[in-house]
Amino acid sequence: MSCKMTIAHLRSAYKTGTLTPAQLMADIRARSAEYLDRNIWIHQLTEAELAPYLEALNDKQIDSHPLWGIPFAIKDNIDLAGIPTTAGCPEFAYTPDQSAQVVQQLIDAGAIPVGKANLDQFATGLNGTRSPYGPGRNAFDPDYISGGSSAGSAVSVALGLASFSLGTDTAGSGRVPACFNNLIGLKPTRGLLSSSGLVPACRSLDCISIFALTADDANEVLACAEGLDTRDGYSRENPFANQARHYGYRDGALKVGIIPESQLKFFGDSAYEDAYKESLEQLRGLGFEFVEFDYEPFNEAALLLYEGPWVSERYIACRPLIDDNPQAIHPVVRAIIEPGAKPLATDLFRAQYRLEALKQSCLAQMAGLDCLLTPTAGRLFTVDELLAEPILFNSQLGYYTNFMNLLDMTAVAVPTAFTDAGMPFGITLVGNHFSDRALLSIANRIQQGLALPLGGEKTTEKPVMSANPVGNPDWIDLLVCGAHLEGLPLNWQLTERGALLKQRTTTAPIYRFYALAGGPPYRPGLVLDEERGAAIDVEIWSLPTAEFGSFVAGIPAPLGIGKVRLADGHSVSGFICEPHGLEGAEEITAYGGWRTYLGSRE
Active site residue 173: yes
Nearest to 28 by CA among 15, 17, 37, 41: 41
Active-site annotation holder among 173, 196, 235, 279 = 173
Which residue type sits at 200?
A: P
Active-site annotation holder among 149, 209, 235, 441 = 149
C-alpha–C-alpha distance, residues 136 and 423, integer Å: 16
DSSP letter string, 441-470: HHHHHHHHHH-PPPTT-SS-PPPP----EE
The vertex-224 CA angle with 219 and 228, nearest 5°, equals 110
DSSP letter string, 331-372: HHHHHHHGGGGS--HHHHHHHHHHHHHHHHHHHHHHTT-SEE
Active-site annotation holder among 2, 32, 75, 156 = 75
Cβ–Cβ under 8 Å, residues 43 and 119:
no
Nearest to 351 by CA among 398, 310, 317: 310
Cβ-based neighbours of 261, under 8 Å, separated by 6 or more: none
- Name the E strands within 45-111: 71-75
Which residue type sits at 524?
A: P
- Sheet of 511-515, strand order: 524-528, 511-515, 586-587
Neighbours of 485 (CB within 10 A): 23
Active site residue 75: yes
Active site residue 2: no
User: What is the C-alpha R_g of the chain?
Assistant: 27
Q: Could you give the residue ranges of the DSSP H alpha helices within 39-173?
A: 47-56, 101-108, 151-158
Element (H, E) at 208: strand 208-212
C-alpha–C-alpha distance, residues 434 and 188, integer Å: 8
Cβ–Cβ under 8 Å, residues 145 and 139:
no
- Catalytic positions, written as ranges: 75, 149, 173
